[in-house]
Structure 1
Amino acid sequence: MQDKKFSVVIAGGGSTFTPGIVMMLLAHQDRFPLRQIKFYDNDPDRQKIVADACEIIIRERAPQIKFLATTDPETAFTDIDFVLAHIRVGKYEMRSKDEKIPLKYGVLGQETCGPGGIAYGMRSIGGVVEIVHYMEKYSPNAWMLNYSNPAAIVAEATRRLCPNSRILNICDMPIDIEGKMAQIAGRESLHDIEWKYFGLNHFGWWTSIKDKKTGEDLMPKIRDYVWKHGYNLKYIKGDAGVQHVDPSWQVTFEMVKGFAPLDPNTLPNTYLKYYLCQDDVVAHSDIKHTRTDEVIEGREKEVFTECRRIAAAGTAKETSFVVDAHAVYIVDLATAIAYNTKANMLLIVPNEGAIENFDPTAMVEIPCLVGSDGPEPLVVGKIPQFQKGMMEQQVSVEKLTVDAWIEHSYLKLWQALTLSKTVPSAKVAKLILDDLIEANKDFWPELK
């Protein structure tokens, strides 16, 4: 097994994150050797921009790895060991509508939380399930590592629609925060700490952070900092690092200080700001310039400009692309499966009693030991009433959204929006829903 070289397909080859993932894969050939990298996307023009550059990068840095970009499912998914999936159904045009339609009604607009997350979920379900079916048809022994958003809704949908599939749903946000926690505690990296965590995707809490070598409890030091500054590192190092550096993210990291004291025994995920500070989020939102506009003007422009420069130059020797450090968890997960390492990783899995006092069918985000047979969830035990109440409400939103997609039910989706903690009333939920239906008529099933 140690001598095996693997074949992967990146589903979402035209993503702005793809070059960083390719750089990351190439940087870890010593522990996850590859014989083939494929790109798959249903937008050939967008994928070609990224693929032309990545082909040059791979040829110059790892010529032994075969590269192929295609829009044909059979070509893409035949002879692969892992699917790395990060698709965005509807691309940024629809993300912009996810953000701006709710804001018309004084409700936060965000790509994975609230009405925007529900709308995105309704688009993503079909796309992710389609990829699962391609994998199972053409490479039935492969594993799909899915980090397509909104991961919580996608995970609930695949649990019900693809119950026997080899799909693992993952997210990099906790890893990013753990890296910040390590620096706050005076450690060099997240690999110097060990942690305990529970929740739903983009909706969770750390219950323990310790020094991996000494066992020292680091929670008090981190808590003191977070209550003053959130997870914003500028107060200890003068800059924001390399990931999530846009102004909106810095506001997000700092805003944590406003709700972290709700439970002195835990530390929250940043995304909880959308459920606990929704009034502030709306007040500081600009319906004419949302996060989508920031991404288009920033990361997308920078990535595509660099891709075109590499293609025109015919070389990537001076590229500005760097290893996507937070995507290393993808290699960690793949190697855990390939080599049965039993690595401790945070995954989105069926609860099945891991959280003792919570819905056993809920897709929860908890630590798991990962090996060749997939994840083994670790026991969390009972969780506090505050978090339990919030999670029960949110998991019901996710389940009703999947119900709506499966049953083509207008009523279920109206219920999901009404139940969301981000929406003030059934009346407002209906207004938003009717606008979202019109905007998503080319992507959603017809609701009745």
Structure 2
Amino acid sequence: MSQKLKVVTIGGGSSYTPELLEGFLKRYHELPVSELWLVDVEDGQEKLDIIHALCLRMVEKAGVPMKVFKTLDRRQALEGADFVTTQLRVGQLDAREKDERIPLSHGYLGQETNGAAGLFKGLRTIPVIFDIIKDVQEICPDAWVINFTNPAGMVTEAVYRHTNFKRFIGVCNIPVGMKMFITDVLKLTEKDDLSIDLFGLNHMVFLRDVLVNGKSRFAELLDGVASGKLTANSVKNIFDLPFSEGLIRSLNLLPCSYLLYYFKQKEMLAIEMGEYYKGGARAQVVKKVEKQLFELYKDPDLNIKPKELELRGGAYYSDAACEVINAIYNDKQTEHYVNIPHHGHIDNIPADWAVEMTAILGRDGAKPHARITHFDEKVLGLIYTIKGFEVAASQAALSGEFNDVLLALNLSPLIHSDRDAEVLARELILAHEKWLPNFAATIEKLKP
């Protein structure tokens, strides 16, 4: 790695960027980022300007020799990059609102990483990530791409299945939240060594062991969560419904909060339909939070990341990304929870799958943790189902074919009718026409 350490953040006008910068400033003694480039698109220019000004104030306050640039020219920014982080939302929050409201209008869960909404976020996002990778391969082929754009699992699957780029790691904040929860409820201190066995797919992970200073404390944790003494939800954007004691004890695993969409479909749908009939959707909540954040960010006296950022569901993403970059840059060989291909390391799933699991990170990227070589058979059926959906979704993003979209929808366990799948596919493709350029031929056929 060069002495000059250059990081490029695509989606630099995101409300999360101050957290990313805070992470770099906090680690400056071991991760001396000399240049941070914030890249965005024309529609994001105003937000980019606000974020850039705040970042300059934060750097000045920290007193470190880091330069922060802003640009709409991605290719210019990528020159000489060591790390590229991707945190983009194609179509911004208006697109998310359509993703949520159209399925709900037909009585289906709308959520940005699973079901119909997750599929369409993937269809818009994957081609853009592929364009970024093409640029990286041409301009800075030795750079690592650290992605925290959702749906992270689907995006990682698509990259490893349909490109030959190998320096790509998907990051999610759910495992970070789970780790913080464990630290909290087991009353651990910084001196304690916490190691977690986590496996599954993005937004579908299970904890199967928790080691504190080499000793398992999983039974105590599981008992606390099952009996309701401990609440295992640290995520802001999912309703706090506890899993039933019977489910937790019979699984003998701790599911992440996103598994509410599979184990409590009826309840989750009832809650979301209630919100929908009141005229709400998660996107509107986020829009409100974003608006408040950007008002704060404009304050010329603000020179730190404001506490209010934690109201966003993705809080701590950026910290996870900084940790990953730090581990690679300094060859740390430390434990992280990331989306990567396992290359046959897990003995009871196909060798070419990308999974989310505990991994060891260093200069050569992420290697699956030696302790986890087998996924628990009890949840393998669900994991296979969702992976089938992800694989079909990545194919549809690539082909722009209506039938490929239908296949992905019909394979999702959140869609319960093949006829409804056709209605949803039609409505969502037409609603997102602007952001689905490779669906142009399909859209022409669908138009009345």
Q: Is the 8 A contact 1:121 1:149 kept in 2?
A: yes
**CA–CA distance in structure 2, aligned partners of residues 128 and 22 of structure 1:** 22
**CA–CA distance in structure 1, aligned partners of residues 116 and 227 of structure 2:** 31
Length-normalised TM-score, structure 1: 0.89
**CA–CA distance in structure 2, aligned partners of residues 413 and 190 of structure 1:** 49
Specify the alignment match of 1:355 in structure 2.
Answer: 346
1:301 and 2:300 aligned: no
Deviation at 1:351, TM superposition (A): 2.9
Note closer, same or farther for the CA distance 1:332–1:392 as it changes in structure 2 (3 Å cut).
same
Note closer, same or farther for the CA distance 1:127–1:437 as it changes in structure 2 (3 Å cut).
same
Deviation at 1:259, TM superposition (A): 7.4
Which letter does structure 2 place at the counterpart of 1:372?
R
Specify the alignment match of 2:128 in structure 1.
Answer: 127
Query: C-alpha deviations, 1:273-330, integer Å up to 9, x for none?
Result: 11221111110111121111111112x12320111112xx4x6279657896553322
Specify the alignment match of 1:237 in structure 2.
Answer: none
Specify the alignment match of 2:220 in structure 1.
Answer: 221
Which letter does structure 2 place at the counterpart of 1:350?
P
Note closer, same or farther for the CA distance 1:164–1:148 as it changes in structure 2 (3 Å cut).
same
Specify the alignment match of 2:17 in structure 1.
Answer: 18
**CA–CA distance in structure 1, aligned partners of residues 78 and 270 of structure 2:** 45
Which letter does structure 2 place at the counterpart of 1:95?
R
**CA–CA distance in structure 2, aligned partners of residues 412 and 183 of structure 1:** 44
Secondary structure in 2 matching 1:284: helix
Specify the alignment match of 2:446 in structure 1.
Answer: none
**CA–CA distance in structure 1, aligned partners of residues 247 and 256 of structure 2:** 9
Note closer, same or farther for the CA distance 1:319–1:435 as it changes in structure 2 (3 Å cut).
closer
Deviation at 1:392, TM superposition (A): 0.8
Deviation at 1:343, TM superposition (A): 1.6
Q: Is the 8 A contact 1:10 1:83 kept in 2?
A: yes
**CA–CA distance in structure 1, aligned partners of residues 8 and 137 of structure 2:** 14
Which letter does structure 1 place at the counterpart of 2:218?
M
**What does 1:168-187 align with in structure 2 at a 5 Å threshold?**
168-187=169-188
Q: Is the 8 A contact 1:260 1:268 kept in 2?
A: no
Return the match for 1:416 from 397, 408, 411: 408
Specify the alignment match of 1:443 in structure 2.
Answer: 435
Which letter does structure 2 place at the counterpart of 1:362?
W
Q: Is the 8 A contact 2:124 2:397 kept in 1?
A: no
Secondary structure in 2 matching 1:255: coil
Query: C-alpha deviations, 1:137-173, integer Å up to 9, x for none?
Result: 2222211111111011111111123223421111121
Q: Is the 8 A contact 2:174 2:235 kept in 1?
A: no
Specify the alignment match of 1:70 in structure 2.
Answer: 71
**CA–CA distance in structure 1, aligned partners of residues 40 and 76 of structure 2:** 12
Which letter does structure 1 place at the counterpart of 2:143?
A
Report the more deviating stretch, 326-335 or 176-185.
Answer: 326-335
Specify the alignment match of 1:236 in structure 2.
Answer: none
**CA–CA distance in structure 2, aligned partners of residues 231 and 112 of structure 1:** 26
Q: Is the 8 A contact 1:230 1:256 kept in 2?
A: no
Report the more deviating stretch, 118-127 or 373-382.
Answer: 373-382
Length-normalised TM-score, structure 2: 0.89
Q: Is the 8 A contact 2:346 2:375 kept in 1?
A: yes
1:57 and 2:58 aligned: yes
Secondary structure in 1 matching 2:243: helix
Query: C-alpha deviations, 1:247-283, integer Å up to 9, x for none?
Result: x54x33x433467426442111111111221111110
Deviation at 1:189, TM superposition (A): 6.1
Query: C-alpha deviations, 1:211-246, integer Å up to 9, x for none?
Result: 1x2x3321122112212448637xxxxxx9xx744x
Secondary structure in 2 matching 1:194: strand
Note closer, same or farther for the CA distance 1:122–1:223 as it changes in structure 2 (3 Å cut).
same
Q: Is the 8 A contact 1:230 1:257 kept in 2?
A: no
Secondary structure in 1 matching 2:187: coil
**What does 1:68-107 align with in structure 2 at a 5 Å threshold?**
68-107=69-108
Secondary structure in 2 matching 1:430: helix
Query: C-alpha deviations, 1:363-404, integer Å up to 9, x for none?
Result: 111222222121222353333333111111111101111111
Structure 1: 5+ residue runs without aligned partners? Answer: 234-239
Report the more deviating stretch, 55-64 or 127-136.
Answer: 55-64
Which letter does structure 2 place at the counterpart of 1:388?
L
1:366 and 2:318 aligned: no
1:268 and 2:242 aligned: no
1:431 and 2:423 aligned: yes
**CA–CA distance in structure 1, aligned partners of residues 304 and 110 of structure 2:** 40
Structure 2: 5+ residue runs without aligned partners? Answer: 443-448
Which letter does structure 1 place at the counterpart of 2:410?
T
1:375 and 2:362 aligned: no
**CA–CA distance in structure 2, aligned partners of residues 424 and 190 of structure 1:** 49
**CA–CA distance in structure 2, aligned partners of residues 318 and 358 of structure 1:** 42
Note closer, same or farther for the CA distance 1:319–1:195 as it changes in structure 2 (3 Å cut).
closer
Specify the alignment match of 1:232 in structure 2.
Answer: 231
**CA–CA distance in structure 1, aligned partners of residues 145 and 7 of structure 2:** 10
**What does 1:184-203 align with in structure 2 at a 5 Å threshold?**
184-188=185-189, 192-203=193-204
Secondary structure in 1 matching 2:433: coil
Q: Is the 8 A contact 2:148 2:171 kept in 1?
A: yes
Q: Is the 8 A contact 1:260 1:267 kept in 2?
A: no
Specify the alignment match of 2:155 in structure 1.
Answer: 154
**What does 1:197-212 align with in structure 2 at a 5 Å threshold?**
197-211=198-212
Q: Is the 8 A contact 1:5 1:32 kept in 2?
A: no
**CA–CA distance in structure 2, aligned partners of residues 191 and 410 of structure 1:** 52
Deviation at 1:23, TM superposition (A): 1.4
Which letter does structure 1 place at the counterpart of 2:103?
P
**CA–CA distance in structure 2, aligned partners of residues 317 and 19 of structure 1:** 8
Note closer, same or farther for the CA distance 1:210–1:320 as it changes in structure 2 (3 Å cut).
closer
Which letter does structure 1 place at the counterpart of 2:280?
H
Identity value in percent: 24
**CA–CA distance in structure 1, aligned partners of residues 229 and 3 of structure 2:** 44
How many pairs does the alignment contain? 429
Deviation at 1:59, TM superposition (A): 2.5
Note closer, same or farther for the CA distance 1:49–1:79 as it changes in structure 2 (3 Å cut).
same
**CA–CA distance in structure 2, aligned partners of residues 296 and 72 of structure 1:** 26
Specify the alignment match of 2:321 in structure 1.
Answer: 330
Note closer, same or farther for the CA distance 1:188–1:259 as it changes in structure 2 (3 Å cut).
farther
Q: Is the 8 A contact 2:201 2:383 kept in 1?
A: yes
